[in-house]
Structure 1
Amino acid sequence: MTSGATTRSGASGVKPGETRLGLVRRARRMHRALAEAHTDAHCELDFTSPLELLVATVLSAQTTDVTVNRVTPALFARYPDAAAYAGADRTEMEEILRPTGFYRAKTNSVMSLGAALVEKFDGEVPGRLKDLVTLPGVGRKTANVVLGNAFGVPGITVDTHFGRLVRRWAWTDSEDPVEVEKQVGTLIERKDWTMLSHRVIFHGRRVCHAKKPACGACSLAKDCPSAGIGETDPVKAAKLVKGPEADHLLALVGLER
């Protein structure tokens, strides 16, 4: 596709009449706005090693990062390496993981993960995507979290928030996480992929909510083709903005609580 061609449904970007060049420029403007809005964006799982991050990410399925962070200090202290996970007492681990939900399945996953690391990689977490995705319970999303945050290898993490927002922004129309990752990766420079992921996820949790986005208090609204699907009244929208950075986010659009 040439820079002057308009994008079509199924291509990366679905805003009617927008050229490919226009899409790239808009996406990068939005990313700059995200960087200004979410200056403290980061991985919200607590970890001190690649193994800890890998386990925490596996545990984060269908629960909150806050819940995982309450559980992992005891877990990490009890099981300091892959061999310890592989040889864990199942009942003991289940009790530690109980607050995360689906604790029996998660115990199976973590023990299997430890065993696979010992068997395939001498107990070390590999630093390559193709190796990480061979581990039980590890898909591209988990692998990119680990690569980006523990190894400094750029990666796009397509979780629920990320997929929802980039479709609202017409950066893609795909529902397939792998295709979303591929298409968004053509819009934003590779060096920015990991921070893009954090910033989009932060925005989804704090401003662009699933059911009622705070459109009237969003600093990205001018470039968002979905602006207006949520609360447009600035005063009402301001009340929807969440998180410790709310005052900063509102100040960017000239609002306060």
Structure 2
Amino acid sequence: MATLLTSPFPQTAPEIRSARPGGHAWPAAWAWAGFRWRLGLVLLLLLGLLPVVPQFYHFIQSRPGQLLADPLLTLLPVHDVSGPTFALIYSSIAATLVFLTPRPKLLLRALWAYYLLQLLRMLTLWLVPLEPPTSLVVLHDPLMDRIFEVTTQPIVRDLFFSGHTATMALLVLAGRGRKWRRVMVLMTVAVGLLVLVQRVHYSYDVLAAPFFAWLAYWVAGRVCKPRFFRF
């Protein structure tokens, strides 16, 4: 995760310009048909996940997996830190949305990256069935608990890779500016440590998460980058 301090996406002149908000940004982007259909398509794809994701995660929960040895977890205490974890996550998401909303090109890439990240995570969860660490403390998400109805069956086998850490890493990449990324990297590291303290993930899940976030963001850049519409 520390590698995120040095972004794999250097700020070129076009990228710096795209990161600056302006009253003409949305009209200029909307005038391009490629932007409109890419935005409409990714919104439809994200909406299409809504009926699929809960069923998929209930399938993951019903499937037995393998219990892993994780020496790093033995070095950390065990606590319920649901409150601080989601305070960091949701405040980071809100701040990123405020930053991206007046920057339609960056917002489009972030939306595609988030969609691709969900597909990657569903793929790895299907390929790598795992049992949660033995000392797990159920993580209570005030939003996801309602979506998945986990009051009757908590989802605890959604392990590799850590979706919470990957989402935070994606927010690092979606923003611009050294100060922004330094702060977001620290918050990403904090979330990664908190989910380990809660034992809802192995350290392998957390360490792998930034790589998948980078992959999703990189592919999203290819999806959203015609030769005449630089990101």
Q: Same fold (TM over 0.5)?
A: no
Query: Hey, which of these two has a bigger chunk of helix by percent?
Result: 2
Specify the structure having the higher radius of gyration (Cα). 1
User: Of the two structures, which has the highest relative contact order with CA contacts closer than 8 Å and spacing of 6 or more?
Assistant: 2
TM-score under structure 1 length normalisation = 0.26
